[in-house]
Structure formats: structure tokens, C-alpha cells
Amino acid sequence: QVQLVESGGGLVQAGGSLRLSCAASGRTFSASTWAWFRQAPGKEREFVAAISWSGGNTYYADSVKGRFTIPEDNAENTVYLQMNSLKPEDTAVYYCTARRGGLIRTSFKDYDYWGQGTQVTVSS
């Protein structure tokens, strides 16, 4: 099993920045792909960004491309999500997740491990 714990959420004004962290413990070697999803009230959980350690590549949703980044120089067993130029529509609970497979997937159903989530609120 892999345990994931997110941190770094909070309240920020539009145009501001936040950096989310996801710390993993347990059988972390079994998690080949890490991702961030988000869920706003009344909406489905949606893909935000992912990084594949085996492939060394990242992938972003169109809605965050150019604003959000998963740094390549993450600390051991930690993944970050750097969020810049935040918009009110970015307001959601952000979840860290991981899957055993090495390919990046954008459906939440393809992920095996989940954190509890961290709230991000962007005020206008």
C-alpha cells in the first residue's frame, strides 16, 4: 500500500500562487505515475497534471497548461504542484494520487492510491 498526504492548500487571491505538496509513504516503489486531480462542489473529479517516473514525462490538462507545473526536481517520495496565475475557477479540493502503471492516465478510475485532499480557494 501507498499512503499519500497533501499539504499546501489555502486561500489566495486571483493571480496568486500556491505550491501543493504530496508526501508518500509505504510501498512507494510500486507507484510509477503520480497525478493531481481536483473536484469542485457539484462537479466530477477532473485530471489536472501527472508525472511518470518511468517515462520521465509530464502531462497537463488544457485548463492549467502554462500555469501549473510539476517540477522535475521533486524531493524523494514527494511530488509538488506549483500553481501560478490562479483563477477563481481553480477553486476545488485537490487530490494527490498514484498508480502502479507507468503510463499517464487522465481518468480517476485508473489510479490506485489517493490522499485525503487539500482545499484551494481562489478569491476574485
- Write the pLDDT tens digit of every residue in 11-25: 999 999 999 999 998
Per residue in 30-87, pLDDT (tens digit) is: 788 999 999 999 999 999 999 998 767 999 999 999 999 998 777 788 999 999 999 9
Query: pLDDT value at position 55?
Result: 67
Q: Which amino acid is at 59?
A: Y
Task: Produce one character per residue of 34-48: b if its CB has 16 or more CB atoms within 10 Å, e if not.
Answer: bbbbbeeeeeebebb
Per the structure block, which three cell numbers stand in for 28?
512507494
* Torsion sign, CA atoms 8, 120, 94, 19: negative
Instruction: Collapse the DSSP code of 29 into the 3-class scheme (helix H, G, I; strand E, B; otherwise coil) and give the result.
Output: helix
Question: Could you identify the residue written with the cell 487539500?
Answer: 118
Choice between 102 and 112, residue whose per-residue pLDDT is larger: 112
User: Parallel, antiparallel, or unpaired: how do β-strands 118-123 and 10-13 relate?
Assistant: parallel
So what's the pLDDT on residue 60? 98
For residue 101, pLDDT beyond 90: no
